[in-house]
Chains A and B, each alone.
Chain A
């Protein structure tokens, strides 16, 4: 698997898009730091961007890579390698190269600004961890969609729709349902539904750590009250990991029956 991972990784690292992505984060980091002039404030702005943007990029890269490397995958399938190995190698290759762009792109400006001398280092690290988790989650989800759709236009459509749903629509529906049923005790329901959206979950994860109650929102506040900060952090972290394992498990299952 390491071999496949290595080559997917090289292939992606040399593509223009990895650099564009890297350059974007690099300039974002610099701009935010110079506009805010404060590491802590920059981190909050950055959080809002990361939890929406990394899922989008992960989704698009995942779907695009799968469809673009289809013929190459067929070449690999004819070699004496297990199917699982090929796809897990590719999956890790994309996820790791995206993560590298994220970490280097944001890390360089923050380091130059003197991150190590500020107290925000843990918050910043958590931000990167969440970004990494989101990368792994959404690339896995994108692979799931691509594996189930032979037609690449359809695959792209569904993938973007999934992102739109989780990043925007989910919150809207959630809010409407809270307003409509506000006579009922919704704490547990709210808590439960948050688990089904990795983007919401990562928002809570970061805000719990940053401890800014004004930004926590309804679900976050319930979350904090219910679990407390530390347990809440661990629990949301665990659920995020589950969000990686379940899609990966489905990829493996799907591969057993798939024709190429």
Chain B
């Protein structure tokens, strides 16, 4: 699915990605973890073409994506902060994104699932943070794509919506999709992720299942295992 070869990115003097290699070949849910500033978002944004890497190559389905834009039709992306134009209504925003993608959309089920009908005619500027995140989720999942990238999907969600989100993620996985998730909530990782990709100092520091990680670090729970990885004690 995705092959990343010796990816380098510097912001000024700060090296964020330092020769990162990553190969995600199969379907499943991959949690991209790492301390703050370890380059998770930069990695995701490089895949999406929002950040332009200094060196290296990214291939999606055996095709280099650098400098291209059409391939983004194959990716569903949930951005970290949901901030939309304040003067559009929810309905208009959904219509607009549908308009921009040459793809079939299934938004009605999702709108019902997340209880967004009462807000459809409200302006986005008047919505609460959680409702905005729900709209964000609807926009992400209303298209069928083989690659789904979620940047902090749980922010601001109430428990019911969180359950729905987990269900959707599982459903997409069963359909054979590749899902990349960044998050800081370890219980969420343990519950949904098949594999953990741990970033540190701009490189992949660990890649494998959470059980392997716990065994390697000799910890009983994931939170402590990750903490141990961050402190570089292994």
Chain A residues at the B interface, C-beta cutoff of 8 Å: 3, 7, 10-12, 14-15, 69-72, 74-83, 257-260
Point out the residues of chain A lying under 8 angstroms from B51, CB to CB: 259-260
Give 11 CB contacts A-B under 8 Å. A7-B92, A7-B96, A71-B83, A75-B84, A80-B69, A80-B101, A80-B102, A81-B72, A82-B69, A257-B52, A259-B51
Point out the residues of chain A lying under 8 angstroms from B84, CB to CB: 71-72, 75
How far does the alpha carbon of A197 sit from the alpha carbon of B233 in the complex, in Å? 62
Smallest CB-CB separation from A13: which chain B residue? B87
What is the total number of residues of chain B having a CB less than 8 Å from a CB of chain A? Answer: 31
Min CB distance B56 to A, Å, is: 15
In the complex the two chains form, is A260's CB within 8 Å of B83's CB?
A: no
Chain B residues at the A interface, C-beta cutoff of 8 Å: 11, 45, 48-52, 69-73, 75, 77, 79, 81-88, 92, 96-97, 99-102, 139
Given contacts A75-B84, A77-B50, A79-B97, 13 further A-B contacts (CB under 8 A): A7-B96, A10-B87, A14-B87, A71-B82, A72-B85, A75-B79, A75-B139, A78-B48, A80-B73, A80-B100, A80-B101, A81-B69, A258-B52
In the complex the two chains form, is B83's CB within 8 Å of A80's CB?
A: no
Contact A81 to B50, CB < 8 A, known contacts A69-B85, A259-B11: no
Point out the residues of chain A lying under 8 angstroms from B49, CB to CB: 77
How far does the alpha carbon of A71 sit from the alpha carbon of B71 in the complex, in Å? 21
Give the top 4 A-B pairs by smallest Cβ distance, nearest first: A71-B83, A80-B73, A14-B87, A78-B77
B101 is contacted by which of A12, A79, A257 (Cβ under 8 Å)? Answer: A79
Min CB distance B156 to A, Å, is: 14
How far does the alpha carbon of A258 sit from the alpha carbon of B50 in the complex, in Å? 8
How far does the alpha carbon of A7 sit from the alpha carbon of B86 in the complex, in Å? 12
Point out the residues of chain A lying under 8 angstroms from B75, CB to CB: 78
Smallest CB-CB separation from A79: which chain B residue? B100
In the complex the two chains form, is B52's CB within 8 Å of A259's CB?
A: yes
Point out the residues of chain A lying under 8 angstroms from B101, CB to CB: 79-80
Smallest CB-CB separation from A258: which chain B residue? B52
Smallest CB-CB separation from A71: which chain B residue? B83
How far does the alpha carbon of A69 sit from the alpha carbon of B88 in the complex, in Å? 12
Point out the residues of chain A lying under 8 angstroms from B79, CB to CB: 71, 74-75, 78
Point out the residues of chain A lying under 8 angstroms from B139, CB to CB: 75
How far does the alpha carbon of A156 sit from the alpha carbon of B75 in the complex, in Å? 35
In the complex the two chains form, is A259's CB within 8 Å of B50's CB?
A: yes
How far does the alpha carbon of A257 sit from the alpha carbon of B53 in the complex, in Å? 9
Point out the residues of chain B lying under 8 angstroms from A72, CB to CB: 83-85
How far does the alpha carbon of A10 sit from the alpha carbon of B102 in the complex, in Å? 22
Smallest CB-CB separation from A16: which chain B residue? B87
B50 is contacted by which of A82, A257, A260 (Cβ under 8 Å)? Answer: A260
Point out the residues of chain A lying under 8 angstroms from B82, CB to CB: 71
How far does the alpha carbon of A34 sit from the alpha carbon of B102 in the complex, in Å? 54
How far does the alpha carbon of A76 sit from the alpha carbon of B62 in the complex, in Å? 25
How far does the alpha carbon of A81 sit from the alpha carbon of B97 in the complex, in Å? 11
Point out the residues of chain B lying under 8 angstroms from A75, CB to CB: 79, 84, 97, 139
Min CB distance A28 to B, Å, is: 25
B87 is contacted by which of A11, A74, A258 (Cβ under 8 Å)? Answer: A11
Min CB distance A200 to B, Å, is: 36
Point out the residues of chain B lying under 8 angstroms from A78, CB to CB: 48, 50, 72, 75, 77, 79
Smallest CB-CB separation from A69: which chain B residue? B85
Smallest CB-CB separation from A85: which chain B residue? B69
Point out the residues of chain B lying under 8 angstroms from A81, CB to CB: 69, 72, 100
Point out the residues of chain B lying under 8 angstroms from A12, CB to CB: 87
How far does the alpha carbon of A82 sit from the alpha carbon of B96 in the complex, in Å? 16
Point out the residues of chain B lying under 8 angstroms from A71, CB to CB: 79, 81-84
Point out the residues of chain B lying under 8 angstroms from A258, CB to CB: 52
How far does the alpha carbon of A182 sit from the alpha carbon of B48 in the complex, in Å? 59
Smallest CB-CB separation from B42: which chain A residue? A259
Contact A7 to B69, CB < 8 A, known contacts A78-B77, A80-B101: no
Min CB distance A151 to B, Å, is: 13
How far does the alpha carbon of A71 sit from the alpha carbon of B75 in the complex, in Å? 18
